[in-house]
Amino acid sequence: MLRFAPSPTGDMHIGNLRVAIFNYIISKQRDEELIVRIEDTDKERNIAGKDQEILDILTLFNIEYSQVVYQSQNIRFHSAMALQLVHDKKAFSCFCSSEWLEKKKEKAKEQKIAYRYDDACRNLPDELVIDNNNPFTIRITKPDDIITIIDYIKSEVSFEPKDVDSFIILRQDKTPTYNFACAVDDMLSDISLVIRGEDHMSNAPKQDHIRNLLKYGKKIDYAHLPIILNDSGKKMSKRDDASSVKWLLEEGYLPSAISNYLILIGNRPPKEIFDMSEAIKWFDLDKISKSPARFDINMLKHINKEHLKNLEPKELSRYVGFADAEIGKLAHVYLEEAGTTKELRNKIEPIFAKKKIPEEFLESSKIIIQTIKEAPYFEEYADFKKYIMEKSGLKGKNFFKPLRYLLTGSENGPNIAEIYKYLKNYLGEIIK
């Protein structure tokens, strides 16, 4: 079983979508189920509606999953497992106040050493624990030995016991911390491989340690994906518009192209343009680069253009507000100068909109409009042009410039001869 475990705390980040895509591909390759676990235990950071938004994005990207689990529904299991650890003396009550811990952290900072919990409460006598009315957290006891994580991308990474530390598993309000809930849930769901962002690498030994102390026998494999960098070589953050999947979709990037791009970066695929079903055939986690991938919007645009070119004309026309193969073919021509559906709409809409003709061509435009309105239907542009030229008595730039404005709403663009074949049946709507 694989899992995608998003937190409903904001717009979906492209890094998260990449994680979802990789999980989906591997689940298909291995013929294992993929579940979605909404990690909603951090109530302060949750944003209402973000869970549904994430699920909608997965549907849009054709990422199939077998069920959705809300982590908050597993709280009773988290409590039961914590109780078992306390009972086995593998976890203990910690009465250190936040202020006290904060002071110790400050001190460690002053001394320029990494803060570690000093295990002050680890060996409190039982009677002191029972008699204590102060709020307390539950901490797990730190491991005795080095913990080694085997990772598809990072190979072997070892962690010292002090780096795992005796960390908190239940907060004072007895809600589970992220690492505890995550480790228990992965165990309950019988997860075989965890694919996620490398910002979680340091959590892996903690989660392994929790399961070891719970005597869970199965070893979970990991693949921690390198971060995605922006133009300036920094981690793509909320400040980068392109980090939001929602933004990319609104800008007119197709889900298939975004997936293609996210599978391509930091990878060695056999070809540049592909769809998910092809990727399932050759995708190999071992080929993912250890170093961060760099996000390049121009490359994404290039890929998007190729995906748009591959659409059936009628489907392409839908992206510009029509359901007509001829308009799809027209849009295809405009793909020479547009790379997103938004850019394409900005080219096609003016063709059908009321045109603003520049002053200098007002007079000649009026004549051309009248002539076109009275003209018969012409199959070929050459015949149409010849007729309108003759009847209007206009020629040169006094003919061609206003004609282009009238037909396309723009001063420049593709060859009129090339687009006339798709416009000829709409002249009544275009020339108003």
Binding site for ligand GLU (CB under 6 A): 5-7, 39, 182, 196, 200
Please, what is the minimum distance in Å from the beta carbon of residue 157 to ligand GLU?
A: 16
Buried b (16+ CB within 10 A) or exposed e, 250-270: ebbbbbbbbbbbbbbbbbebe
Please, what is the minimum distance in Å from the beta carbon of residue 253 to ligand GLU?
A: 22
Query: Token digits for 3?
Result: 């899992």
CA 420/CA 317 separation, integer angstroms:
17
Complex with ligand GLU: residue 218 or 395, whichever CB lies closer: 218
Please, what is the minimum distance in Å from the beta carbon of residue 246 to ligand GLU?
A: 16
Please, what is the minimum distance in Å from the beta carbon of residue 178 to ligand GLU?
A: 7
Complex with ligand GLU: residue 15 or 339, whichever CB lies closer: 15
Which single residue brings its beta carbon nearest to ligand GLU?
A: 196
> CB neighbours (10 Å) of residue 365?
21
Please, what is the minimum distance in Å from the beta carbon of residue 285 to ligand GLU?
A: 15
211: closest CA among 189, 180, 169? 180
CA 367/CA 352 separation, integer angstroms:
19
Q: Is 29:13 a contact under the CB 8 Å cutoff?
A: no
Residue 292 DSSP symbol: P
Complex with ligand GLU: residue 73 or 277, whichever CB lies closer: 73
Q: Is 302:272 a contact under the CB 8 Å cutoff?
A: no
Please, what is the minimum distance in Å from the beta carbon of residue 39 to ligand GLU?
A: 4
Complex with ligand GLU: residue 293 or 351, whichever CB lies closer: 293
Query: Token digits for 279?
Result: 């990727």
Phi–psi pair at 376, nearest 5 degrees: -75, 180
Please, what is the minimum distance in Å from the beta carbon of residue 199 to ligand GLU?
A: 7
Complex with ligand GLU: residue 196 or 305, whichever CB lies closer: 196
Please, what is the minimum distance in Å from the beta carbon of residue 7 to ligand GLU?
A: 4
CA angle 201, 204, 206 (to 5 degrees): 125
Phi–psi pair at 372, nearest 5 degrees: -65, -40
Complex with ligand GLU: residue 4 or 405, whichever CB lies closer: 4
CA 251/CA 339 separation, integer angstroms:
10
Residue 319: CA count within 13 A, CB half-sphere = 34
The H-or-E segment that residue 323 falls in is: none
Complex with ligand GLU: residue 26 or 297, whichever CB lies closer: 26
Complex with ligand GLU: residue 200 or 401, whichever CB lies closer: 200
Going from the C-alpha of 221 to that of each of 16, 208, 218, 255, the distances in angstroms are 19, 10, 10, 29
